[in-house]
Amino acid sequence: MAESILSIRINQLELAASLHEPDHIGNEPEALAPLVIICHGFVGSRIGVDRLFVKAGRELGENGFAVLRFDFAGCGESSGDYGDNGLDSMIAQTIGVIDYAEGLPGIDPERITLLGHSLGGAVAIHVAAVDRRIKNLILWSPVANPINDIVRIVGKAAYEEAIHAGSTDYAGYRLSAGFFNSLVSHHPFQEVRKFPGNVLLVHGTSDDVIPVDYSFLYQKVFRIRTSGHCEKEIINSADHTFSSQDGIRRLLDKTKQWLSYVNSPESYYI
């Protein structure tokens, strides 16, 4: 497996990214690799807590998948200020990354999966609802009510300061009133029925950041669609970032198993 560092230009932004390529990747149809694009969560990065996304990228890469993980604007090594860019910008950035990834050599454009964690899950849902290039969707501990979930994380006082003073400081990030207003206008539950593809939900029972109940509710909505399959995996005692040996092992094993199946000719999900 090969790893490389990329810079993806989207409008005036330079997004830092890492690409994992399996050894068999090539230009012939039979050697084209399925692609997984990872969207990180609130004020996160493409590395992830306890290197979650690094581990995922490397393990999936060793198992035949190309993986592209990137930093949203103002996070990690990307340019820009995170708090000046709301959810609309994150959605646009993700679509720009898909545009870029489509042109990479050895990638199968018919087998693109979007993987979102936490707030990145909400972003992924909104992108998948409008971008038919996304065939599969993986949601790890997904946000379901962006404004309520993020205000719960930063605290009501910080939110009120942003609204009344124009911005607030959260963990060194300047979050503008516009950032919070963008969260108000997005409703992932209303978008899920627009995605016709396959979905995997994974959540931990000990998640004290985003309630595990969200994944049960998401599954109910996904299952009433007229197309696409939805599977849910609940990992006992796992926290929001699956930060234990057992949690990460079960998360990655399930993700690999599901991805291998939905991307195989034998899949009845297709």
Q: How many CA atoms does the CB half-sphere of 13 hold within 13 Å?
A: 25
- The pLDDT-based confidence of 28 (bands split at 50, 70, 90) is low
For 128-161, b/e burial (b = at least 16 CB within 10 A) is: bbebebbbbbbbbbbbbbbbebbbebbeeebbeb
Band the pLDDT of 83: cuts 50, 70, 90: confident
Can you tell me the distance from the alpha carbon of 165 to that of 153, in angstroms, rounded to the nearest whole number?
19
> Mean pLDDT across the stretch 139-168?
98
Looking at residue 23, its pLDDT comes to 86
pLDDT of residue 1: 86
User: Binning pLDDT at 50, 70 and 90, where does residue 85 land?
Assistant: confident
**pLDDT over 60 at 10, yes or no:** yes
Residue 11 in this model has a pLDDT that exceeds 70? yes
Q: Is 57 left (phi over 0), alpha (psi -120 to 50) or beta?
A: alpha
- Token digits of residue 181: 């207003």
| Total-model pTM | 0.96
The angle formed by the CA atoms of residues 177, 182 and 186, to the nearest 5 degrees, is 150
pLDDT band at 140 (very low <50, low <70, confident <90, very high): very high
268 Cβ contact partners less than 8 Å away, ≥ 6 residues apart: none
Give the pLDDT confidence score for residue 151 in this predicted structure: 98
Architecture (CATH level 2) of domain 2-144+191-262: 3-Layer(aba) Sandwich (3.40)
Which of these ranges, 25-29, 87-91, 102-106, 181-185, has the smallest mean pLDDT? 25-29
